[in-house]
Structure 1
Amino acid sequence: MTKDQTVQAAYQTAKERYAEIGVDTEKAMEQLKKVKLSVHCWQGDDIHGFVNPEQELTGGIGVSGDYAGIAQTPAELTTDLHEALSLIPGHHKVQLHTLYAVTDRKKDFDEIGPEDFQYWVDWAKEEQIGLDMNPTFFSHPKMKNNFTLASPEKDIRDFWIQVGKQSRKISNYFGQELGQRSINNFWMPDGFKDNPIDKATPRLRMLESLDEIIKEPYDENNTLESFEGKLFGTGVESYTVGSHLFYNNYAITRNKLWTIDAGHWHPTEDVSDKFSAFLPFGRGLMLHVSRPVRWDSDHVVIFDDTLQRITRSLVRDNELDKTNIGLDFFDATINRVAAWVVGARATQKALLQAMLAPLDQLKSDELHYDFTQRLVETEELKSYPFGAVWDEFCLKNNVPVGMDWLKEIRQYEQKVQFKR
């Protein structure tokens, strides 16, 4: 038999096994196909961007490794993204930052507007994908003493307020041009390295700055803002202005989205438990799916317990329609395109496994206090042949099955990346 025939034979067996417990594998694959991941562009170039690529990374951000083949131009980055997207089943989105503007002259962050992202919009139309946005509040001389929107200096705040306003124009442009809502995610690294005297005033300044940024209304079919908190970061170990609770409350009171980054919490916290606590009150979520290791938050996503808990929560509690799933990691110790593919496919696998469960039966068990049945079923599901369904999903979507995609990456790095 050919490999395709082997995959299809294994799938037929898996389909029958799942049917025995009331799970329709075809329906699960159709559900997964509708989920769009937002793939982060910054994995491809170690967050240098094109506006000030010589600027040292600041804001608690650092990239490890020097694997050959880094993208250094817009054409190289979009070529790498195209390669990655061709190996990930389905149609998705790409997240950009102010840093990635393609300008015809030297511009500062606060001057960058929609016209500087035409390159990306034209490319996205060719790829038939959407674009999300992130205003860049780091890697700039005016990120003074670890402060931007919460700075005690008005001229500093005004500069970053304008950066935020410009990002909303850009995000609106993405939505208008591509016919898909663009999520505009705000993350600011403001805070203190050592213990502050005044914790309230910086948050009041941040609140005032954010309200000024979002004052102008935009069609929310085109763009919608999301706000991302953090436990702490390098250089702001003692106090983070934009804490989780701060942005949780801001999102609820301003009818915006709240961003949960899986790597921005205490290592003992289960981020998936936050979803069902927030969504009864909040408008929706933006996820940055990352992998924390100790206190480093941005490792390549893998099919681990944390990821499975995240996807199970989204599926079991029917939260996918209110959640935007983005990726956020950067690892320069490995092939950067391969990192995208590993992270995206791992996320899709975890979603599929969550979808391949007899949820109505399990919820009925729970409702009727049959915890024995619930435990037995969930344990047995762990060894069900979901991998055969995943392989069939890849086959149906014309992407390589199993490890075959790595062969394409190896050819790509020899022909393209290693020649840079």
Structure 2
Amino acid sequence: MRDKVETAYLEAKQLYERHGVDVEAALRKLAGIKISLHCWQGDDVRGFLRRGDALGGGIAVTGSYPGRASTPGELRSDLELALSLIPGKHKVNLHAIYADTDEDVDLDELQPRHFRGWIDWAKQNGLGLDFNPTLFSHPKAEDGFTLSHSDPAIRQFWIDHCKASRRIAESFGRELGQPCVTNHWLPDGYKDTPVDRWSPRARLREALDDIFADEIDETYNIDAVESKLFGIGSESYVVGSHEFYMGYAMSRGKTICLDAGHFHPTEVISNKLSSILMFADRLLLHVSRPVRWDSDHVITMDDELLEIARELVRGDLLPRTHIGLDFFDGSINHVAAWVIGVRNMQKALLRALLEPVEQLKRIELERDYTSRLALVEEFKSYPFGAIWDQFCRQAGVPVREKWLDEVKRHEKEVLQPREAGRGTP
């Protein structure tokens, strides 16, 4: 006997199929899309390697919601809960400061063994791992410069750290049987307008060339570089601008990372996807939600998220795109932030996959712009939610907001006692 979820699904399925949409094929495709969960949402970007270092380098977290993770075990436990409430098998994105080790080791000395706990955990849970060198929150980044630093010794420290990070990432890929995407972002820049914009960029280009000179098998590690328009302490000039990294990535065969919050407040990345992938082999997305500045809010299913998903689907760009989330909101439950973010990303992709793309393209070629607009707008209110509910049901995760009950239980039984035991906000 059918229940309400299945009945609603079958009725919605019939509506989509009238326009030639293969709903079951859309669900199979969605099930195969891996989203990379950023570990730093779980502990407010504090990490475990240098616990005494304050956040810096354009990084700021607002809020002090109780129960943030303070050990690798706590963080993995929180991630496990989040992943159990999200359909599909995904990846976890680590920063170098999340090394799981008791050794007194600095960033330039890190080795794969310092992440053994993460590798074993990922294997046990059927997950992939992505990676990031951490070029912030360190004494050698206090003046706002790392790979473009004018001091050769400091610059070399960061070069060595990035080289070590690529070797760690390669070990992730080898052991887990899927490539690790290693993203290089740095905070370098000036608060006020500089006299010399050229020299820091020349030093950065030289440093990156040095880092990537070490041969790493792309079967296991994919290198990406991430731009930014401005940040805290670099409001007037960022060395690694969009134009710099566009040129660098295209000329060096590296992957460009587009972060949704790293551009002008009125600029969107959805319109850039087809242009970049016209010439690049692959793309990395960091999906976040900027609010007036690069504030990295938890993503909602807003217009830009939907446009990103539509561009990926309509242009058949998903096979060449790695999708990761990048926000750190300390004002709400840390686990809930992951669940809301990933499920919204998946919902946006599902809505795009349920569009009659070939029909819309044909109408466009026929210059029937009236029908194009009418159908695109009508499909915005088609019952994709019934398809989503069935997708969650099939994946064995809570349907609709029922996942929140598990998060609230975890907060009461785990996060609140964890906070009480720490004794500090």
Task: With the length of structure 2 as denominator, give the TM-score of the two structures.
Answer: 0.97
- Structure 1 stretches of 4+ with a deviation exceeding 2 A read none
Q: 2:243 is matched with which residue?
A: 245
Which residue number in structure 2 is paired with residue 233 of structure 1? 231
* Candidates 6, 17, 20, aligned match of 1:19: 17
Once residues 417 and 187 of structure 1 are traced to their aligned partners in structure 2, the CA distance between those partners, rounded to angstroms, is 31
Amino acid at match of 1:396: Q
Equivalent residue of 1:297, what SS?
Answer: strand
| CA drift at 1:297 | 3.1
Cα deviation per residue 1:53-89 (whole Å; 9 max; x = unaligned)? 2210001111111111110001000000000000000
Could you tell me which residue of structure 2 aligns to residue 391 of structure 1?
Answer: 389
Matching of residue 303 in structure 1 with residue 301 in structure 2: yes
Deviation at 1:144, TM superposition (A): 4.0
C-alpha distance in 1, partners of 2:21/2:358?
10
Deviations 1:297-351 (A, max 9, x none): 3000111111001101110111001100000001111100000000000000000
Residue in 1 that maps onto 2:274: 276
- After TM superposition, give the deviation of residue 104 of structure 1 in Å: 2.8
Equivalent position of 1:108 in the other structure: 106
C-alpha deviation, 1:296, in angstroms: 3.2
Any residues of structure 2 matched to 1:356-371 within 5 Å, and which?
Answer: 356-371=354-369
Aligned to 2:115, what secondary structure does the other structure show? helix
1:92, 1:130 within 8 Å by CA — same for their partners in 2? Answer: yes
Partner of 1:214 in structure 2? 212
Cα distance in 1 for residues equivalent to 2:331 and 2:357: 40
Aligned Cα root-mean-square deviation (Å): 0.9
1:166 match: 164
Partner in structure 2 of residue 72 of structure 1? 70
Residue 264 of structure 2 is matched in structure 1 by: 266
Contact 2:57 2:142 in 1 (8 A): no
Question: CA contact under 8 A between 1:39 and 1:93: conserved in structure 2?
Answer: yes
Q: Distance in 2 between matches of 1:270 and 1:98?
A: 29
Checking the alignment, whether the CA contact within 8 Å between 1:264 and 1:297 is kept in structure 2 is no
Instruction: Give, in whole Å, the separation in 2 of the partners of 1:250 and 1:109.
Output: 25
Q: Are the aligned partners of 2:231 and 2:294 in contact in 1 as well (CA < 8 Å)?
A: no
- 2:8 match: 10
Q: Which stretches in structure 1 are left out of the alignment for 5+ residues?
A: none
Give the residue type in structure 2 aligned to 1:193: K
1:184-223 equivalences under 5 Å are 184-223=182-221
> Following the alignment from structure 2 to structure 1, what is the Cα–Cα distance between the partners of residues 228 and 294?
12
Q: Structure 1: which amino acid aligns with 2:247?
A: N
How is 1:102-141 mapped onto 2 (pairs within 5 angstroms)? 102-141=100-139
Residues in 2 aligned to 1:415 and 1:229: alpha-carbon distance in whole angstroms: 41
Q: Cα deviation per residue 1:362-386 (whole Å; 9 max; x = unaligned)?
A: 0001111111111111011011000
Contact 2:191-2:234 at 8 Å conserved across structures: yes
Verify the 8 A CA contact 1:50 1:101 in the aligned structure 2.
yes
Q: Secondary structure at the match of 1:52?
A: coil
Query: CA–CA distance in 1 between the matches of 2:143 and 2:102?
Result: 31
Aligned length: 418
CA distance in 1, matches of 2:406, 2:102: 34
Give, in whole Å, the separation in 1 of the partners of 2:142 and 2:330.
28
Structure 2 stretches lacking a partner, 5+ long: 419-425
How far apart in 2 are the matches of 1:345 and 1:317?
22
2:33 to 35, 42, 64: 35
How far off its partner does 1:217 sit? Answer: 1.0
The secondary structure found in structure 2 opposite 1:267 is coil
Q: Which residue does 1:182 correspond to in 2?
A: 180
Corresponding residue number in structure 1 for 2:398: 400
SS at match of 2:322: strand
TM-score after normalising by structure 1: 0.98
Specify the code of the residue in structure 2 equivalent to 1:223: N
Candidates 254, 268, 271, aligned match of 1:256: 254
What is the aligned partner in structure 1 of residue 325 from structure 2?
A: 327
Match of 2:60 among 62, 66, 72: 62
Give % identity. Answer: 54
- For 1:404 and 1:331, locate their aligned partners in 2 and report how far apart those are by CA, in whole Å: 22
Paired letter, 1:249: G
